[in-house]
Amino acid sequence: MKQLNLIITSTVTVVLLLGCGNSTGVAPSQNSALNSISPTKAKSNGYIQEGLDSWLEEDWTPTVEKNEEVRTKYMEKVEIEAPKEVTATQITTKKELEENSSQKLSQKNSLEIQKEVKYVEKKDKYPTLQEYLDKADAYFEAQERDLENSHIEKMKKMPVIGE
């Protein structure tokens, strides 16, 4: 009798476990009922990452690239050929208007090429801690400083700590 109970219990357990393991809707990503309540979205950047990316693109990079020391030390000069275009708003005199008729403009624009200078990061190097420190120093030098509200000035104004 004990052996029969053991065999029946083991068989039921094995059948139950195999049935759950083969079910396709068990994983949360495949569960249609769960997805109807709270659908999963494709992985996207979070609010903080988007803020950091926009700050790097709009504030940090342009500010750091203006510093001549950083440009010479960590960036390389690249000349990009861009066609020079003359638009109607740039024409100011009657002589320029005659010289730059629509046919002549199309011929000139195809012939004249202007070289634009850009600075890009060197590709054959690894970033170093010193590079980050130099760029941070260049960034903070370019920022406006409010000395009246700085922590250093506040500390100096305190009676025991300051002067």
Predicted local confidence at residue 126, as pLDDT = 84
pLDDT tens, residue order, the chain (163 aa): 788 888 999 888 877 777 665 555 555 666 777 777 777 666 677 889 899 999 999 999 889 888 999 888 888 888 887 665 555 555 556 566 566 555 555 555 454 567 777 788 888 878 889 999 999 999 988 887 777 777 878 888 888 776 6
Cβ atoms of 124 and 118 closer than 8 Å: no
Cα end-to-end span (Å), the chain: 94
Predicted local confidence at residue 107, as pLDDT = 53
- Rounded distance, CA 54 to CA 68, Å? 23
Q: Where are the domains of the chain?
A: 60-142
H helix and E strand count, the chain: 9, 2
